[in-house]
Amino acid sequence: MTRKAKYWLIGVCAVAGFLVVMVVLAVRGGGVPDHSVLVLRLHGPIGEQPSTSAIERILEGRADTILGLRDLLHAAAKDGRISALLVKVGGLQIGMAKAEDLRDQILHFRETGKPVVALMEMGSTLDYYVASACDQIYLVPEGMLFLRGAMADVPFLRGTLDKLRIVPDFVSIGRYKSFADIFTRTDMSPAHREVIDSLLDQLHAKMRDTIAEARNLEPSRVEAIIDRAIYRAPQALEVGLADAVLYEDEVLKALEERLGADLEPYSHAEYEDSLRPSSRGTRVAVVYATGDIMPGHSSGGLTEGSTLGSDTMAEILGHLREDDDVKAVVLRVDSPGGSVTASDLIGHEIALTREKKPVVVSMSDVAASGGYWISAPASRVVARAGTLTGSIGVLAGKFNLQGFYEWLGVRREIITRGENADLFSDYRSFSPQQRELLRSEMEAVYEKFLVHVSENRGLDMEQVKEAAEGRVWTGTQAKALGLVDVLGGFDAALEEVRQLAGIDADRPLKLEYYPKEKGLVESLLSGDLARSIGSLKRLLAQIEVLSQLTSEPGPQAREILFRMDF
């Protein structure tokens, strides 16, 4: 493309973006009507980090995020024009910690005394767990609940790799470090099964007991209800899972009768567009640390397919350290880990920042392995009861593709200088000497991980070893082990910020989110257009992560977490 053509393209996109903004502003019109019912639609994946690209936001729309919904519900709670909250929940694709976050924000809204009701069409156990935060739960007449309990689905690929003549060759340090098991085994090891059973016991009990308390039922009764699993609307009403069976218009009429006023439904997307960030208060930076940890710059937007780059984090934290007007940093972590080198670089930047101002970690669904490495140096660590964290362990490895290549008819010859020039060649497995060399280096990195946690968390080495071995813990378990300071969500993290930075409880906080969103021109110049082709972009990002896993020669502090269904 010629330079002139590039300028024309930028100009056309800029005009198109301007027109889109004008249309949005025109549609938004006169703002929020009085006596509005805020309709909060909770469905599908809800990420942590919003897209920073203006082009991506135009092409794919602004996706909901956990902290975005938190800000929205906090604003609505104080907004006199919002008279009630209607939560339509179903088909959520999130982890337990994010579900706890949503539930807490609904409960915060309830504290205003405004009616809060849920309307469900179809829902899982996790959907119902969120809905149980509402005053009342309604099902549509042909609605259904599938309260199946908790299930872990762990894939093992060794059989497939064998058929493809691919040999996985990994070295793991830590009895519970199960990252490589899905490639090297055809079933769970006893240690792997022990961890999964422990996590399921904790998370299942959390949901059961919370639902029991919210619905005024005995936990044993809820257990029996879950064992029955499938409930049509009349059955849900009969066992106490629902308060009434109504269509949405009937729910609105019931709210109108309760409040004695005509109500106007107003979607949460429209309401979010009407909000303006506060320009008052003490500045607190919120830094997203989401995705697989890699050297270099971060990529991607929403947690799905994103990477957390050590260079990007160093630039952001370095800037915030030198800004005296920023009184504290909240690091919002949602990461299964990645490169040890990158994790250590980020951890060092956090330690440097902590020397100048408080750094409080707020864990989301996952802060495991490298995700815990970067969390440990913080002034305080806050996690949800359902957060998956810990996994203090390391591994390294590769795939020997020789059999696969030869099956395809490809034969390679490798000539080396140096005994270990072929150490990470994908055409042969590790020799016994190479495996021993690798194990020795991994044990040294593991020891560094233990020391890193011990020094930053103020734990003696025996305590750290008890919590290590690559084992994943829930937030509740991690707090008992000293890996976490406080159980709670983002608001609990802000309370820690106030305490550490000496900010009065009645002083408003001005939250500033990083990485910053880019404008249209900046997005164009940074090449976002070429990366914003929806699902193709996300697929390529996932392939990139897997590619880096097999090509990154250094040790990995990473945890592949099983899919969990509720």
Domains of the chain, by residue range, sit at: 33-148+229-274, 282-395+443-565
User: How confident is residue 2, by pLDDT bands cut at 50, 70 and 90?
Assistant: low
Q: Is the pLDDT of residue 159 over 70?
A: yes
> What integer pLDDT is reported at residue 306 of this predicted model?
79
> What integer pLDDT is reported at residue 56 of this predicted model?
54
Look at 59 and 74; give whichever has higher pLDDT.
74
Q: Is the pLDDT of residue 50 over 90?
A: no
Q: What is the mean pLDDT of residues 246-259?
A: 96
Of 85, 123, 125, 131, the closest CA to residue 251 belongs to 85
Task: Work out the percent of the chain whose per-residue pLDDT is above 90.
Answer: 78
Look at 554 and 210; give whichever has higher pLDDT.
210
Q: Is the pLDDT of residue 289 over 50?
A: yes
User: How confident is residue 247, by pLDDT bands cut at 50, 70 and 90?
Assistant: very high
> What is the H or E stretch that residue 472 is in?
strand 472-474
Burial of 314 (0-12, 13-18, 19+ CB in 10 A): middle
Q: What is the mean pLDDT of residues 330-347?
A: 96
- Whether 33-148+229-274 shares its CATH topology with 282-395+443-565 is answered yes
Q: What is the mean pLDDT of residues 515-536?
A: 54
> What integer pLDDT is reported at residue 18 of this predicted model?
46
Q: Which position has the token pair 């809204």?
A: 109
Q: What is the mean pLDDT of residues 392-396?
A: 93
DSSP string, 277-337: ----SEEEEEEEEESEEESS--B-SSSTT-EEEHHHHHHHHHHHHH-TTEEEEEEEEEE-E
User: How confident is residue 26, by pLDDT bands cut at 50, 70 and 90?
Assistant: very low
Q: Is the pLDDT of residue 51 over 90?
A: no
- CA atoms of 219 and 227, how far apart (whole Å): 12
Superfamily for the 282-395+443-565 domain: 2-enoyl-CoA Hydratase; Chain A, domain 1 (3.90.226.10)
> What integer pLDDT is reported at residue 20 of this predicted model?
47
- CA atoms of 307 and 290, how far apart (whole Å): 7
What three-state secondary structure class fits 121? strand
User: How confident is residue 552, by pLDDT bands cut at 50, 70 and 90?
Assistant: low
Q: Which position has the token pair 């408003």?
A: 508
User: How confident is residue 49, by pLDDT bands cut at 50, 70 and 90?
Assistant: confident
> Three-class SS string for 19-41?
HHHHHHHHHHCCCCCCCEEEEEE
User: How confident is residue 518, by pLDDT bands cut at 50, 70 and 90?
Assistant: low
> What integer pLDDT is reported at residue 61 of this predicted model?
57
User: How confident is residue 15, by pLDDT bands cut at 50, 70 and 90?
Assistant: very low
Q: What letter does residue 122 receive in the DSSP assignment?
A: E
> Considering the chain, what is the average pLDDT of its residues?
87
Q: Is the pLDDT of residue 11 over 60?
A: no
> What integer pLDDT is reported at residue 377 of this predicted model?
98
> What integer pLDDT is reported at residue 523 of this predicted model?
45
User: How confident is residue 280, by pLDDT bands cut at 50, 70 and 90?
Assistant: confident
Look at 73 and 57; give whichever has higher pLDDT.
73
Of 403, 405, 404, 427, the closest CA to residue 415 belongs to 427
Q: Which position has the token pair 């064992």?
A: 227
| CATH 3.90.226.10 describes domain 33-148+229-274 | yes
Look at 97 and 528; give whichever has higher pLDDT.
97
User: How confident is residue 179, by pLDDT bands cut at 50, 70 and 90?
Assistant: confident
What pTM did the predictor assign? Answer: 0.86
Q: What is the mean pLDDT of residues 124-130?
A: 97
Of 180, 190, 298, 186, the closest CA to residue 555 belongs to 180
Confirm if 122 and 146 have CB atoms less than 8 A apart: yes
Look at 33 and 24; give whichever has higher pLDDT.
33
Q: Is the pLDDT of residue 27 over 50?
A: no
> What integer pLDDT is reported at residue 25 of this predicted model?
41
> What integer pLDDT is reported at residue 4 of this predicted model?
52
> What integer pLDDT is reported at residue 361 of this predicted model?
98
User: How confident is residue 6, by pLDDT bands cut at 50, 70 and 90?
Assistant: low
Confirm if 199 and 472 have CB atoms less than 8 A apart: yes
Confirm if 403 and 464 have CB atoms less than 8 A apart: no
Q: What is the mean pLDDT of residues 30-48?
A: 90
